[in-house]
Amino acid sequence: MAVYLDDMMSGWTVDNNTFTDCQIGVYISGGRDNTLKRNYFENCDLAVHCDARGLQWERSRCFCDDECDPDEGKHCDCDTGAAAWLARVNPRIASRWPMMINQSYQCAPAGNTITDNSFCSVIEFI
C-alpha cells in the first residue's frame, strides 16, 4: 500500500501523486470526507480501496447504548457525543468544523470524493 488512511481517518487530501508498481495505491479504511484527485496509478493491482469498517467490525466505536458525556466522566467504547461536547467547550472549533456537530450517516464512509484520477495497467480501479 502506498497511502493508507487507517481506521476511519477523515478529511485528508491525496492530490497529484504517482503510484507505480503498488499492490494497492490508496487504501481508505472507512474514513469520511477524504479527497483523491489528480493522481496517476500505473501497474497496480487495485488503485483505490474503500471499505465501511465503521458500519462493520468497528461499529462499537460509533454506536452505543449509553450516552458518552466527558463532562460527567462517563466512559464507553464509542465516541457518540464527543463532537457536541467539544463544540460546547470550544466554540472556535465548532465554527471551524460545523459539519462535525450533527453528522448524518454516522461512521459510514460518506463524503469521499474521487475525481480526475488516471490509470494505466491497473487490474481494478475501485
What pLDDT does 110 receive?
Answer: 84
pLDDT surpassing 70 at residue 23: yes
pLDDT surpassing 80 at residue 17: yes
Give pLDDT tens digits for 44-53.
Answer: 999 999 998 8
d(CA 64, CA 77): 8
**CB atoms closer than 10 angstroms to residue 42:** 16
Q: Cβ(61)–Cβ(82) under 8 Å?
A: no
Full 3-state SS string of 14-76:
EECCEEECCCEEEEEECCCCCEEECCEEECCCEEEEEECHHHCCCHHHCCCCCCCCHHHCCCC
d(CA 47, CA 62): 28
Span 68-88, average pLDDT? 59
pTM over 0.85: no
